[in-house]
Amino acid sequence: MRAICVDDDEMVLDLTISFMEESDFFSEVRGFISAKEAIEYMKNSKVSLALLDVDMPEMDGMTLAGKLREIDPKLSIIFLTGYSQYAVDAFKVHAEGYLLKPIEKDKLFEELSYVLDNRDEETKTLATARTFGNFDLFVGGQSVVFKRSKSKELLAYLIDQRGGTVTRAEAFSALWEDGLYDRSMQKQMDVIIRSLKDTLKEYDISDILEIKSGSMRINTELIECDMYDYLDGDENAIKSYRGVYMNSYYWASMTEGMLLDDRIDY
């Protein structure tokens, strides 16, 4: 989930971005001093929430909100201003939130939590995972190319966990069966996770991966997966399974056995 912040005060903007990133609600937070640059960014990127300063010289926040909503009517908007008299105008443009400067981190977190919990957002599949046979990920019919094989394997393992939370240590144990999770390998895991995040960002599917407090999970609602369909009883997925599941990875054998048992039942 992406967010943008727009404020003509660079110090306020930097502080707001740091708070937004600290909240762990977003995979990416971008800041803009220029309203026009924010509009151009919105035209090419999926953004869930915009935090907008109301009083800006180039274009006021109310006008900017209207233009951003023309691009994406489902965009959530929170206004930030030092003048309480703008509150009525803010809600005239159907803003979801309103905060007064100077911004307070706790109040921002509360507002973000409220707005995001009440978003009426249509779920959209961002990627397709194929797990029967070898593992591959596709976006718009195009195969995703991973810069590191271990990053691809990490994603495969997280998909195998079907949305369950996995710690870094647990992921390491899967990727290196007999490895020692010492300081050197912790750094190696950091490199692998960073590479995975970079790849997902390159294909504009960062939202499928959630990382919070040292743990990771896949947002299964954003992925179409043959294994998920199989477990849901999808007839086509059942017919397509030939008894081989992610055969490049030793840790996949447990799920493969489970699928074979289910296949006998079918």
Is there a single domain that holds both residue 98 and residue 186? no
Mean pLDDT of all residues in 214-234: 90
Question: Cα-Cα-Cα-Cα dihedral of 83, 87, 89, 90, to 10°?
Answer: 110
Q: Quick one: tokens of 130?
A: 């194929």
Evaluate whether residue 70 is within a structural domain: yes
> Contact, 129 vs 135, CB < 8 A?
yes
Q: What's 45's domain CATH number?
A: 3.40.50.2300
Is there a single domain that holds both residue 113 and residue 132? no
> Contact, 98 vs 62, CB < 8 A?
no
Other beta carbons within 10 Å of 8: 16
pLDDT at 154 over 90: yes
Q: Looking at residue 232, what is its pLDDT?
A: 85
Evaluate whether residue 69 is within a structural domain: yes
Q: Which residues of 45-65 are buried (b: 16+ CB within 10 A; e: fewer)?
A: eebbbbbbbbbbeebbbbebb
Is there a single domain that holds both residue 25 and residue 59? yes
pLDDT at 198 over 90: yes
How far apart CA 176 and CA 199 sit, in angstroms, is 21
Q: What's 168's domain CATH number?
A: 1.10.10.10
Is there a single domain that holds both residue 147 and residue 44? no
pTM of the model: 0.57
Q: Looking at residue 91, what is its pLDDT?
A: 47
How far apart CA 96 and CA 111 sit, in angstroms, is 9
Q: How many domains does the chain have?
A: 2
Residue ending a domain, choose from 74, 99, 117: 117
Q: What interhelical angle do 183-202 and 168-175 show, nearest 10? A: 90
How far apart CA 196 and CA 155 sit, in angstroms, is 8
Q: Which domain, by its residues, includes 236?
A: 127-265
Q: pLDDT tens digit string along 87-120?
A: 445 445 456 777 888 889 999 999 898 888 776 5
How far apart CA 262 and CA 245 sit, in angstroms, is 13
Q: Quick one: tokens of 209?
A: 């991966």
Is there a single domain that holds both residue 136 and residue 261? yes
> Contact, 222 vs 209, CB < 8 A?
no
Is there a single domain that holds both residue 161 and residue 103? no
